Structure formats: C-alpha cells, structure tokens
Chain A
Amino acid sequence: MTFINYASREINCKIVYYGPGLCGKTTNLQYIYEKTNPNAKGKLISLATETDRTLFFDFLPLELGTVRGFKTRFHLYTVPGQVFYDASRKLILKGVDGVIFVADSQNERMDANVEAIENLQGNLKAQGYDLMTIPYVLQLNKRDLPNVAPAEQMTQLLRKKGEPVFEAVASKGVGVFETLKGVAKLVLQELTKTG
C-alpha cells in the first residue's frame, strides 16, 4: 500500500526482507546502511535479542531521489526468521509493497527455505495479498560458502513465478544493491499501472 502525498510530493513504499532464520536478512540491511550516503538514509533500528537475533524487526528508511517530481522513500523492514516468531512476521507484512525473499544457499537449509516461502505465502494471504501478484524477488544468499546448492537447482526449487533471482554474499555486499534495485523497480512499475 504505497502512500502518495501530493501535498509534500512524496511516495513512500514498504519493502520487506523475508526468509528463514540466519539467512542474512539483517546483514542485507546492515550493508545497505553502511554503504549509503548519510543524507539518503535514516537510522537503522534493530529490535533484536541480546544475541543479535531479530526479535521483532529491523527498519531502515532510504531516500532514493526523485521520480517525476516526487521524492521516493523506501522503508526497508526485515522479519524475525525463527519459526516461532510467526505472529510478528504477520504484523510486519501489513501494508507491504514489495518482498525480497532471502534464501540460505547451504544444502542443509533447503528445507528451511521451502518452509519459509510457504510461510510467506500463507502470511501474505492472511493480509489480503497474493505472492503471485505482489512485487517479489528471490535472493540466493551465502554463495561464498563451501556447502552450497547449485544456483540452478535452488532456482528450480524456490522460484514461484519467474521472479528475478539474484545471487548474493550479503556479508561482503555482493548482490545486495542489485536485489534491492530489482524489487524497487517492480514496486515503481506497479505504480505506473492504473489504480
């Protein structure tokens, strides 16, 4: 649900990073935070446990510049990945404009990836959205680890609707901005469609 303010000429969009526990959602946000020009970003807020596991969400506001005279603001959120935080995940999807699914490329996390995508589909539905129509991209993270599944195999297993797929190493920043740009593009394209 994009918020368009004609008075202050702003478009506000909400992007959510989704994925299984420890897949690197917060790491994506941290890298974006580190690499963004200070004028273009707000504070990175992390509601995390003492061991740095996301408890409720991380939040990063980004200002990307103007399109057709409108300032575009993206609000990036992550969800807690651990299975038992499902109630929180549902809340964060409220009003979402675009979703990035961060998949963990390690072989032993494949079941967790599949489970998390199913969870995403269910939770989107509960908020009245459909994964098939919402702006959505898939990120295959942790490509630098030794025990990863081949990208083609993961794409075949996890891709839902021909969405863009990005390979990434979030801890080193590889593919992080490409993924964000991919989803931002889809969200803005959605705006060009008639209301």
Chain B
Amino acid sequence: MAAPDIVMYEEEFNKIKQIISKLRIDANAKVVFLVDKNGQQIAAQGEIENLDTTSLASLTAGNVAATDGLARLIGEKEFSILFHEGERDNIHISIVAARVILVVIFDERSSLGLVRLRVKKASNELNSVFTDIMDKVEKERAAAGAAFESPFAEITDDDIDSLFSE
C-alpha cells in the first residue's frame, strides 16, 4: 500500500474530542469537526443532530483538494485557511498536521477573528496529538515487525459474503 493506514486509538480519540469540544466553546461555534484529507470524518462536536456530517466531510475534503490544486497552479504550496461566508452561518476550514482538516461552523454569536484565534491554539494541540498517533503506529509496526498482527487477519470469505447477504 502506498501510505500507511490511519489508525485511531481510544486514548488519542478522547484527547481529540476534548480539544475540539473546548474549541467549540471557546470560539462560540455551532459545530467543530475533524476530517481526514481523504474525506473520512474523524470526530465531530456541537449541534450535529440535523447535520449530514458524512456528506459534509466528503465535500470539505473535496473542497480542500480542489483548493490545493488551485494553489499549486499559481505556485503556492497550499492555502492553509479557507473561509466561506453565508447569510447566517459561516465555515472556517484549516489544515492541521498537514493531513487533517479542521472545520468550524459558526454564526453571528461568534466572529471570524475569534474563530481564527481559537483555531490557532487548538491546531497546536491537535498537531501534537496527531504526531503522537503517527509515532505510535510506527512504533507498533516496528516492534511487531513482519509479525504485525492485523485485527482483521482472521476475516474469512464467509464474513465478507455475509455483509452482502441481503
């Protein structure tokens, strides 16, 4: 495989949830969520009951990917912050740890300045969590060497067939 899989462990997952939950309160935002650059949602906090977070994750990643493409066309490495302004709600998108997208949705109860400020602080914290995760994955791989035990090593054809049994 070209790149290592992303693996999320309980400990880091809880840390991430704490950080984005705090960010939501500090920034007075409606929703804060984290998406992997490939469009997979990692975590979400806030008023998400009526929100299609899966679609939001995939479109955000598409948006970031397209903007990255634009950046390279004009000789920039990336546009690290994107901001979409709506009539009521606004979306602030930023890149964390080079591979994760942090999305903040906010309305008139907050402001772009406040969001930017708080995002900056949270980004630093998230950065260190993601560095930890990557270290952990590396270490486990190295320690286990060739004998790295995939939790899915025992998936059988029957298991896979039963997924499609409907």
A-side residues, CB < 8 A to B, are: 1-8, 11-12, 14, 37, 42-43, 45, 47, 56-57, 59, 61, 64-65, 67-68, 70, 72, 75, 77, 87-88, 90-92, 94-95, 127-129, 133, 177, 181, 184-185, 188-195
Query: Does B76 count as interface, using CB distance less than 8 angstroms?
Result: no
With A1-B6, A7-B9 as contacts: A45 and B152 at CB distance below 8 Å: no
Residue of A nearest to B151 (CB): A68
Bound complex: CA A37 to CA B3 (Å): 33
Residue of A nearest to B5 (CB): A2
Q: What is the predominant secondary structure among interface residues of chain A facing chain B?
A: mixed
Q: Which of B35-43, B83-91, B101-109, B117-125 contacts A (4 or more CB under 8 A)?
A: B35-43
Find chain B residues with CB under 8 A from A1 CB: 1-6, 38
With A67-B160, A194-B146 as contacts: A7 and B8 at CB distance below 8 Å: yes
* Residue pair A43, B52 in contact (C-beta under 8 Å): yes
With A6-B8, A127-B2 as contacts: A42 and B14 at CB distance below 8 Å: no
* Residue pair B164, A64 in contact (C-beta under 8 Å): yes
Other-chain contact of A68, B5, B10, B159 (Cβ < 8 Å):
B159
Other-chain contact of A7, B10, B66, B151 (Cβ < 8 Å):
B10
Bound complex: CA A22 to CA B66 (Å): 23
Interface string of B136-166 (1 = CB under 8 A from A): 0000010000111111111101011011101
* Residue pair A94, B38 in contact (C-beta under 8 Å): yes
Find chain B residues with CB under 8 A from A4 CB: 5-8, 151
* Residue pair B13, A7 in contact (C-beta under 8 Å): yes
Additional A-B contacts beyond A1-B4, A57-B62, A91-B68 (18; CB < 8 A): A3-B6, A3-B40, A4-B7, A7-B13, A14-B39, A43-B54, A43-B55, A65-B162, A75-B40, A77-B58, A91-B69, A95-B3, A95-B36, A184-B164, A188-B152, A194-B146, A195-B5, A195-B141
Query: Does B81 count as interface, using CB distance less than 8 angstroms?
Result: no
With A65-B162, A75-B58, A192-B150 as contacts: A6 and B69 at CB distance below 8 Å: no
Find chain A residues with CB under 8 A from B2 CB: 1, 127-129
Bound complex: CA A2 to CA B137 (Å): 14
Residue of A nearest to B154 (CB): A68
* Residue pair A188, B155 in contact (C-beta under 8 Å): yes
Query: Does B134 count as interface, using CB distance less than 8 angstroms?
Result: no
* Residue pair A68, B152 in contact (C-beta under 8 Å): yes
Find chain A residues with CB under 8 A from B5 CB: 1-4, 195
